[in-house]
Chain A
């Protein structure tokens, strides 16, 4: 009786199902994911919020007057004491749709700009992550699989890129392209385009992805199933796509949230330095920059986007850790240089 039961085929879960089940039990990771999704949803609702609030977050409205508790209040308040020096933007009204977080030095609604800024920050970080993963994976696959001179050339190129401090390289590339854009043959990117920060951030992080991928591919290249495929005469591109790529997929998935967090930080830094997103467009970095001149009177203008960056990056990192534990518990993938 017992032997009959043992002989019955058991329905086993696949590795993906196991991984996601494990991830689902990781409360910290799931909470982080929820926080991040809320931020994403809020940011994607930016156009709707601006329409509902009847505000243009990109136009100077220094002479605007709003109603607060039935009273007319100028968005830019002139000092009336003493010499009457300077104008101070209105502070938070804590009323959604009516300068909830107050105004910046151009009289623009900070809440609306925060949402639009988040949208740009997320789009740039997301697109740069995809860019990095595509080109980093490609470089890692080619270098690791073909070896020899191909590996040597690609690895040295990556070493050169790796040798520059990330922010220095990003700042240098941004300064070179900020005023004139990029024009290479038929490819032309205007100076104000979001594609510029996307490409710049994407390029500087390629070695971060390419090097560990190359290492994994090198190991897989000498595994029995790959050697068998080679001996059977399977073409290289097919081995790369069918045998090697699926084996590095989990690593790539783990990279997504971690790279996204890094890219958000880099984008914010570049925009803070005026070499990322260009005014009047917003990103969390540009809003912090705008708020820097108001730290004394309206600190929330700089603090709120700073907080948004911190929460988003933390959520992505915690979720990324959980994802790595779930998908590849033995993985040593860590971003950074040591």
Chain B
């Protein structure tokens, strides 16, 4: 019988050595007040089963809970999974295909209803009933999910999510072992909502929650008010700690420039949007103590369409990878403090990452300088010199700048290039659809959860490519059967031996990088600007700043 390590690894994750701060003392001293946040616009629907934005996911952290959660901690600890509404780590059986959770007792929703196993079953069904954006990917491995995907309205997940009312347990059955299932269950798309929540997108209507806070008012054009959940009693400091401010007031509509000024003047405490580039110098010198720079598991890259000339030619793709000066791109993004040059797919300090850069002068572990001569030689060899290339970028200052720079690089190595900025609302879907025959584009990928597959398998597997679809996240159209088989092997290996799987992912990262279906540009960092009164700033690598763990008084 195959040795099952998943249970052991889950348990070790859950019983980590993370030490809690003296939260009780701090709470006495700093509890209360209103923390004021700003964003240019709302994050879309309030429905946590549907919202798929960084902004939404960050805000849900002190509001909603799943059976498990990412630990509300800084650094690598923040990537670990802890039991949340489940009282302990799941019991894993049936060769890693069955997970049994025991639900905590005494938890109430913000509307006063008791949390019960029926809410858990209904919530899993709801993921499919509302056609959640990840229902067909993250949760497709649950028994009965195929029927739910085919007919969302009559979804029962029969045999997939089984509740035992008397024992207070929920059993999750999978069609095959999934090493990443706990990560997926810790995402906002799998939070537990009251069983009677309508099975439709709730839009601007807040849904009752179990966390220390609840959404008490929301106007997508004005703002959101998040206040304390009167029924909350802290059950796990690691999973869902009580917060410091009494109210989180999130206002929408101010431009980035105005938001910076508001924070400088103490009229607001934080802004979601990126700081305007022309304020960086001033803020970096005058407001150093209000700035927090944190690493992100993200990738800015330029997908090259492997199915359309000239980048259906591997040498042509490699030529671009050799020619791009990552230092210039880092400069465009704000400098080395805010970004690092990169050649490969997996971001630094990410599972499976091993430094690798073949497309540089002196190839090796790190990028050093562009090799334009080599690039020109490869273009000659590929026979694609003089071909026309159009780069599609988002209509934002930074993307436009990168597009214009890449256009000049392509021109230098022998292509006739132009750049098209199109609306940010359209660009991401436009570049995915093969009907648009996009040759090259500029985009970003931020991890959903800390697993190599979330980059390599999602962005470059054959299954991620869908002809003529706006949802073909394999933008390069890259499909290599051998690499695909290796990825499947790594996914299977992860169930029993995550370390060995990560080694394999590192090898896959190198293979994909060598084929150059996309040009890695840089790894960005997150720059948070807070007001002077914000204390105890903590950055979680999974969901960014832990808003309610900061105090304002």
Contact = CB atoms under 8 A, between A and B. Distances in A.
B520 interface: no
B285 A83 contact: yes
Q: Which bracket fits the contact residues of B?
A: 35 or more
A59 B280 CA distance: 24
Given A85-B284, A105-B277, A192 B331 contact: no
A179 interface: yes
A191 interface: yes
A82 B401 contact: no
Contacts of B368: none
Contact of A60 (B279, B291, B328, B421): B328
Interface string B402-420: 0111011001000000111
B420 A178 contact: yes
B293 interface: yes
Contact of A85 (B283, B390, B392, B404): B283
Interface stretch (B101-109, B334-342, B473-481): B334-342
Given A84-B284, A178-B422, A278-B419, A62 B278 contact: no
Contacts of B2: none
A252 B532 CA distance: 64
A150 interface: no
B288 A279 contact: no
A72 interface: no
A77 to B, nearest CB: 9
Contacts of A180: 436
A260 to B, nearest CB: 27
Interface residues of A, number: 35
Contacts of A183: none
A81 B284 contact: yes
Interface of A: 58-60, 62-63, 76, 78-79, 81-88, 105-106, 175, 178-180, 191-192, 274, 278-280, 292-298
B328 A62 contact: yes
Contacts of A292: 397
Interface in B61-86: none
Interface of B: 257, 276-286, 288, 291, 293, 328, 331-332, 334-335, 337-338, 390, 392, 395, 397, 400-401, 403-405, 407-408, 411, 418-423, 430, 436, 527
Contacts of B527: 85
A76, A85, A179, A180: residue with the most chain B Cβ atoms closer than 10 Å: A85
A295 B256 CA distance: 12
12 contacts: A62-B331, A81-B281, A83-B337, A85-B334, A86-B281, A87-B331, A179-B430, A191-B420, A274-B395, A274-B423, A280-B419, A292-B397
B276 A296 contact: yes
A190 B190 CA distance: 47
Given A81-B285, A85-B283, A280-B404, 12 more contacts: A60-B328, A62-B331, A83-B288, A86-B281, A86-B335, A87-B331, A179-B430, A191-B420, A280-B407, A280-B419, A293-B397, A297-B281
A59 B395 CA distance: 19
